[in-house]
Each structure stands twice: as structure tokens, then as C-alpha cells.
Amino acid sequence: MASNDLAAPMARLVDEFKRLPGVGAKSAQRLAFHLLGIEREKAESLASAIFEMRERIQLCTQCNNIAVDALCPICNDAQRDHGLICVLEQPNNIMVVERTRAYRGVYHILHGALSPLRSIGPEDLKIKSLLERMRDRPVREIILATSPTTEGQATSAYLSRLLKPLEVKVSRIGLGIPIGSELEFVDEATMSESIEGRREL
């Protein structure tokens, strides 16, 4: 080991941190030295939380949300409207919808969005399981709530074409100008979408 290198176990930890998204070389070092400086049991608590999460977390067999049991708490909740499915890209998107307290339906998580650039096609998303659950239980409406990014829009368009022939109402979340923003600063794409999506008062 060259004397100007970090001790091997420290260097390995810095490398592991560098692999995380948004963590650069300097942050990685800062995090590793932070874990050296705090009480050992606190550092090990992070490590064991990682092991425990990978050990215990699975995907809900119905909606592909993260779960500790076969069904996630939402799919397992008889009070929710199982005839209304909100389709999302990622499990953490669920919280954004739940926080509104306005939605009482269930979810379906795709675990991604279509992306020709990154070679992600329909078979890489949890689309087959969406069609299967529609066969198992009557579904009234499917709300496509993928992000209004290029990839999310493409995914929404693809699913719309796929689902419409199945005699289910298919809707897209409202796109437009966010509440609280000044019209002056709205970009062209959002403004067009906002005019197109206007509602009669």
C-alpha cells in the first residue's frame, strides 16, 4: 500500500459510497470518515439496516409496491377502491399521491419507464402483471400517473394504446402550470399542455 493511500478498509468503504447516486469522491470520503468518527454501534446500525432491508423487503405480489408481506398494506386494505388503479413508475411515487389524502384507489408500480436510449422496453416494466390483475378482478378506471418526462410520457402513451381496447376507462393525470407559480416563468411545453388541457368553468 502506498503511504499516501487510505488504509484498505477505509478505501473500500469510500469506493462503496462513490457508487451511490449523487455521491462524489469528496462526499464519499466525508461519509466514510463520519462513520469512523461516530460510535461504532451507530455506524453498524446503518450497515445492519441495509442488510435488513434487502433481507425483508419484497415486492407486493399484486401491485409491485415494496412490502414485507406478500401483499402491501394498500393492496391488503379492504377499505380502498380496488376498481381504481393509479399506475406509477416507482414505489416512492406512492407517497406523493398518498400525501394528498384525496386518492382512495390502489396502485400499480411499473418499476421504470420506457426508454429506447437506455434499452428499456415494455417487457422490462411490470406491465404483464397489470394485465393479469385486470383479468382477476374488475377494474373501472386506470389513472396513468407516470412523470411528464419524455420517458414517462412515452410510457403513458404506450399504456393508453394497450389498455383502451380492454374496455376500461384510461385517464392521464392533469398536466399544466403548478399551483403557486408565476405565468411569466412557465416554459413553452407546460404552457401548451396547459392550454390543451383547459377545463370549462
Gap between the Cα atoms of 104 and 107, Å rounded: 10
Give the residue from 81, 88, 83 showing the smallest Cα distance to 66. 88
Q: Is 43 in the site for a copy of itself (CB under 8 A)?
A: yes
Number of residues that bind a copy of itself (CB under 8 A): 60
The answer to whether residue 66 forms part of the interface with a copy of itself (CB under 8 A) is yes
**Binding test (CB under 8 A) with a copy of itself, winner from 34, 161, 164, 169:** 34
Toward a copy of itself, which CB reaches closer, 40 or 199? 40
Binds a copy of itself by CB under 8 A, chosen from 10, 71, 168, 186: 10
3-state secondary structure the chain: CCCCCCCHHHHHHHHHHHCCCCCCHHHHHHHHHHHHHCCHHHHHHHHHHHHHHHHHCEECCCCCCEECCCCCCCCCCCCCEEEEEEEECCCCHHHHHHCCCCCCEEEEECCCCCECCCCECHHHCCCHHHHHHHHHCCCCEEEECCCCCHHHHHHHHHHHHHHHHHCCEEEECCCCCCCCCCHHHCCHHHHHHHHHCCCCC
The nearest distance, CB 120 to a copy of itself, in angstroms, is: 13
48 near a copy of itself, judged by CB under 8 A: yes
21 touches a copy of itself (CB under 8 A):
yes
Q: Does 135 bind a copy of itself (CB under 8 A)?
A: no
| Interacting residue with a copy of itself among 89, 99, 126, 184 (CB under 8 A) | 99
Cβ-based nearer residue to a copy of itself, 60 or 163: 60
Member of 47, 131, 189, 191 binding a copy of itself (CB under 8 A): 47
Residues of this chain that interact with a copy of itself (CB under 8 A) are 1-10, 12-13, 15-17, 19-22, 27, 29-36, 40, 42-57, 66-68, 72-74, 77, 80, 90-92, 94-95, 98-99
